Amino acid sequence: MDFFNELISRVVSFSVESYGCNANDVYNFFEENKLFQLSILTSSRSLYEDAKKSKTEKIKVSLDNYFSRAHLNPVPFGTFTSIGVLKWSDKRILTKSETLLLKVDFDNLLISEKLAATMSRDWKKFVYYTNPSIHFLSKSKISFYKFEKKTIGDIETKYVEIDYDENIKWLVERFENGAQIVEVVRDLEKDGFEKTEIHAFLLDSIEAGLVINEMIFYPYRNLSEVEGVYSKLVNNNLHSIKTTKDFDNFSQSYSKEQDALLLKQESSNKYSHSITAFEKDIGQLEVALQEKILKFINFTVTYNKKYTPINTSLLKFGNKFYHSYKDVFIPLSKVFNPYSGLQYSSTNLENDIRLHQDILSKMLVSNKDKVFLSKTVTNNAQVDMSNLPSTFSVVFELLTCKKTKKKITYFKYMGGTSAINLLSRFDQVSDRICVDIADYEKEIFKEQLIAEVNIISKPRATNVVASRQYYDYNIPLNTIYNKDSNPIFLSDIFIRFNGIRFILVSEKYKKEIIPRITSSVNTTLSESNVYKFLADLQSQQREIHSVNFNFNYYENMFLPFVPRIYLEDDILLYPAQILLSDDNFDFQGFKEYLLSRLEEYSFSKQISFIEDKGDITINTENEDHLHILFKKIKKVSPIYVCECLYESFIPEVHNKLNHYPHEIIASIKNTSFKADRSDFKIVKEDVTVGHKAPILSDWLYFDLYCNPYAENDLVNVIYHTIVVENSISQFFFVRYDHPDTHLRIRFKTESTPVIEDIFSKINNLKQENIIRNYHVLPYEQEMYRFGGEKLMGVTEHIFSLDSKHTVLTVLNNELKQNDIYMFSILKIEYYLRFFDFTIEEMISFCEKNIEAFSSRFNLDSKLRKSLNKIYTEIRRDIDDLKPNDFLEGIEIETEIKNTLRNSELIKDNYVMDLIHMSLNRVFNEKQRLNEFKSYYLAKSYFNQVKFTQKAIKKQTLFRG
C-alpha cells in the first residue's frame, strides 16, 4: 500500500467549546454569531426569516438541529463545514483558518428550471446534440431513451422505438457534434425547405427526444451563463469572509439575489445558489500516522473481505444473463431493453450484514468500558490486498483524550470504488489529487479504457458532481458530449459473462471498458437500470466495506451495553452504545428510564442516533431534545444510541483555544492490485442464423429436470438405452442449475423411428419418476461462441466424443472424489496436448485459469493446503489410471485445427470453453469450484511432469 501525497479535510465551522457554551441558548447564539446566521440563511431561508422575526417557539427544534449539525457533524453542507488540504510531512499542523473562503455557483435545479422556461420562448438559440442512447435494432428501426424533466425536478426516462429513414439519418448526423438550432434552420432554408416545415420537424425531433439540450444535459457542474439569470456572487465565484462587514455584505447580496432569482418561480424550488466553504491554509500530517491507517486497512480486509453484496448481485445477474444470452457478446442496449431485456437489482448494502464471530465473541465476554480487537488481527500478518480496488479512501478523525492526553485516531470509513469518489466535488482544493488518482488508475488499466459514466437523473444532484472530466473516455447515458471527450455510446458497448465476471468492451476501440462514477452520488436512487449496473460493475471482484459496528443493523442483537471499540489503545473504531427500548412509557417514565440507563453505564450526556436525514446529536439535559428521542423510540424500539465522543475527547483541528470536529480523507494506492486481463475478440450473436426447430431438425434437444444426485444415473440410462440401442451418431449433455437443476441432452438423428423411440423413453423416465419433468426445445447452436457454422460442427463432434468418454470412464463407475479429480486432470491434459500446447504452455494455461477463478474462490492458505494434500494422495496413481485418450488420432483433428486457425476465435479461449464443458460433465455438483480445483491440481501435475522430463534429460546427458 502507498499513499497519495495530499489529503482532504472536512471541518465543522463551530468548535466543541462553542457547543458547550451555547447549547442551552441556541437562539441567542443565532442572534450574535454572523457565521451561524449565514449558515442558516443559505440552508433554509424560511427558518432564517422566522428566526429574525423572533418566532422562537416555532423554530426551536429546527434551529437546535442545525446548531448541533454545525458543531458536531463534518459531512459537507454549505457553510456548516469547510474543506481543506493537508500534506504528508514530518509533523502535524492542523490549524483552522480564521478566514472563510466561499465558492458560489448557481444551484443546478434553478438553472434547469430557468432553462426550461427560456426554451419555450427562444428554443432556436440553444445547441442540441444527438441523443447518446440511440441503438440500431435493425437497418430500419432504432431505439433510444427519451429524457424529460418532471415538474418536481427529476428526469423521467421513457423507452422509444421509431422507424429509421433518411430524415432521421440526416438529423442524427447533423447533431452528432452539436449544432445550434438557428444554424440548422438557416442551412435547411438554403436547401429550399419552408421555415414552418423546418420548425415543425425540429420541434418534433426535440419533443421525441432524438436530440437533447446542451445545457440541461451537461454532465458536470453547469457553470455556463443562462440568459436572464445573473448573479454577481456567482460571477465573482470566490469570496473571502473574515470581518463582520464581510458577513453583512455577503448576506445582503445573497438575500437580494435569491429574491430576484426565485421571483415568480413556478416550481417549489427554494434554492438559488450552491455554496461550498474552503480552508485557505494547507495543513500537515506526520507520515508516521500511515502505519495506523495500514493497520486499520489490514483489520478491515481480514474481517470483512467476505462481505461482498454487490458481487453477489452481479453473479446472480450473470447467471440470468448467461441463461438468456449464452456465452456471447451482446449489445448492452439489448440487455437492458425495457421490453425484452433483463432487470438489474442493485444491492442495499445494509442488508444481510453479519458481525464476524471473533469480534462478536470479544463483545460478549467484555465487562469493561472498552474492548480491544488487536489480538484478532495479529495472527493475520499476511493479508491479501489484491482484491481491493486500485485506489480507495480511508476516513478518520484525530482526537486527544481529555483524561490521559493520549492521541487517538478514530477510523470512520474505508471503501469506495475509487479514491476519486469522495473528492471530485471539491475541485477548488482537490483538483490536483483527483488528477493524480486518475493518472495512477489509467496507468494500472493501460490495456483497458477507463470511462466516466455520465447521467443526469436529479438536477440538484449535479451540484455535488465534478466540474470536469478526469478520465480519457466517457459513457454518456443521457448527457451531451463532444469528440474531444472520447464518448463511448451505448450502441458501441458489448457485454459478455464468462461464468466468473462480466467483460464490457467497446467495438470501436477493441478494448475492455472499466466504468467509473466520479462522484459520491447515491447511484441506487437512479431509475436507470444501465446506470445502476455500471455503477455496481465498478466493484466487480474488487469490493470492500468497513466493518459496521452500529448494532442497529444486526438482527437479534440485544446486548444492553456495547463498550467503546478499539483496535489498539490509540486506534478507536466505534463509540460506546447502549440499548434503549420502549415499555409503553409516557414521557416522564421514559425520561427517568433513560437517565437511569445513562447513569448505570456512566454514559455521555450528549447522545447520537440516526434519523432520516443523517445522524442527530441531542443533549439529554434538554427537555425539547428528549422529546425528539421519545418520538424516535415510539417508532423504533429497541434502538442503540451512541455516546458523544467529544465529552471524552478533544478534536485535534484547532484555532487558538477552540477545537473542531472533523474528518480527514486519505487516498490510498493499492500496490498489490493487478488489472484483470481479458483476451477477447468481439464475437457477436449472429441474428441471421436460424434456430433449429425441435422436431424437424437433425438435432433433438431436451431439458430433463431431476435432482443432482440422480444426474449420473440418468445419463447412464440414456446412454445405454437410447444412444447405444439406436446407434445415434452424436449425443452430448451439459449440467445446469438455473432456474432449477436439470440436464440438457442433445441427440443427432434424422430417423423418424429413432425420434419416436427417444420421445417414448424420455416420457417413460417421467412416468417412472426418474425425472420430474422435461421440455423439448429448439437447439440454438452457439455459433458466436464456437466460431461459426463449420467450427460449430466439429465442436459438436468433440462434445459427443467427450460425453461418451465421460460416461464410460467416470459415470459408469462408482468413483471416489480423488479418482474423479484424476480424471479431470487427464481431461485437461488431453485437450491441451491435442491443441499442441507445450508443457510450459500447459502450466501457464492453468495459472491463467487459477487466477481468473481465485477472484471468485479465495485461494487462501487453508484451501491451498487442502489441494496440496489431495495432490499428494493422487500423484503416484495418475499415470497408472490413464485411460485411452479419446482425442488421439480422431479423423477431424486436421479439420478442427485448420478451422480454428482461420476463425476469429482466440485459441486459448476456445480450448478453455471445451475444457469448461468437459469438466461440467465430470462433476455432478459444485462444477465451477471443482473446475477451479482441477486447474490447480493439473498445474501441480504438469510441474511434476516437467520436473521428471528434466531429470530424465539430465540422466541421459550424464550417461552420455
Asked if 239 contacts 102 with a C-beta cutoff of 8 angstroms, the reply is yes
The CATH classification number of 686-780 equals 3.30.70.260
Question: 389: helix, coil or strand?
Answer: coil
Q: Can you tell me the distance from the alpha carbon of 157 to that of 455, in angstroms, rounded to the nearest whole number? A: 11
**Looking at residues 697-708, what average pLDDT do you find?**
86
Query: Over 60: is that where the pLDDT of 690 sits?
Result: no
Helix (H) or strand (E) holding 396: strand 391-401
Mean pLDDT of 149-174: 82
HSE-CB of 463 using CA atoms within 13 angstroms: 23
Using pLDDT thresholds of 50, 70 and 90, give the confidence band for residue 379. Answer: very low
pLDDT bucket at 854, cuts 50 / 70 / 90:
confident
Q: Which amino acid is at 80?
A: F
Q: Give the count of beta carbons closer than 10 Å to the beta carbon of residue 492.
A: 18
Instruction: Give the start-to-end residue ranges of the domains of the chain.
Output: 2-102+237-287, 108-231+419-543, 686-780, 814-960
In tens, the pLDDT along 752-808 reads 899 999 999 999 998 887 888 899 988 777 776 777 788 888 999 999 999 999 999
* Average pLDDT value for residue range 711-722: 92
- The grid cell for 52 is 429574525
* Residue 223: band (very low, low, confident or very high) from pLDDT cuts 50, 70, 90: low
Model-level pTM?
0.80
Q: Residue 749: name the closest of 721, 777, 728 by CA.
A: 728
Q: Is residue 224's pLDDT more than 50?
A: yes
Partners of residue 473 on adjacent β-strands:
451
Is the pLDDT reported for residue 528 higher than 60? yes
Q: Which has more confidence, 268 or 535? A: 535
**Residue 484 has what pLDDT?**
86
Per-residue pLDDT at 941: 95
H-state helical runs in 552-654: 587-600, 623-635
Provide the residue type at 122 as one letter.
D
Query: What is the maximum span of the chain, computed from C-alpha positions, in angstroms?
Result: 107
* pLDDT number for residue 957: 41
Q: List the beta bridge partners of residue 565.
A: 371, 574
DSSP for residue 691: P
pLDDT tens digits for 238-284? 999 989 999 999 999 999 999 888 875 555 668 888 899 998 888 99
Tens digit of each residue's pLDDT (9 = 90 or more) over 295-321: 999 999 988 888 889 998 999 899 888
Q: Which amino acid is at 875?
A: R
> Over the stretch 560-584, which tens digit does the pLDDT of each residue have?
999 999 999 999 999 999 999 999 9
196: phi then psi, degrees, rounded to nearest 5: -65, -40
Per-residue 3-state assignment (H helix, E strand, C coil) for 637-696: CCEEEEECHHHCEEECEEECCEEECEEEEEEEECCCCCCCCCCCCCCECCCCCCCECCCC
State the pLDDT at residue 349: 57
Average pLDDT score over the chain: 87
In this model, does residue 951 exceed pLDDT 70? Answer: no
Where does the pLDDT of residue 684 fall: very low under 50, low under 70, confident under 90, or very high at 90 and above? Answer: low
Pairing of strands 127-130, 211-213: antiparallel
- Indicate if the pLDDT at residue 217 is higher than 80: yes
Q: What is the pLDDT of residue 856?
A: 77
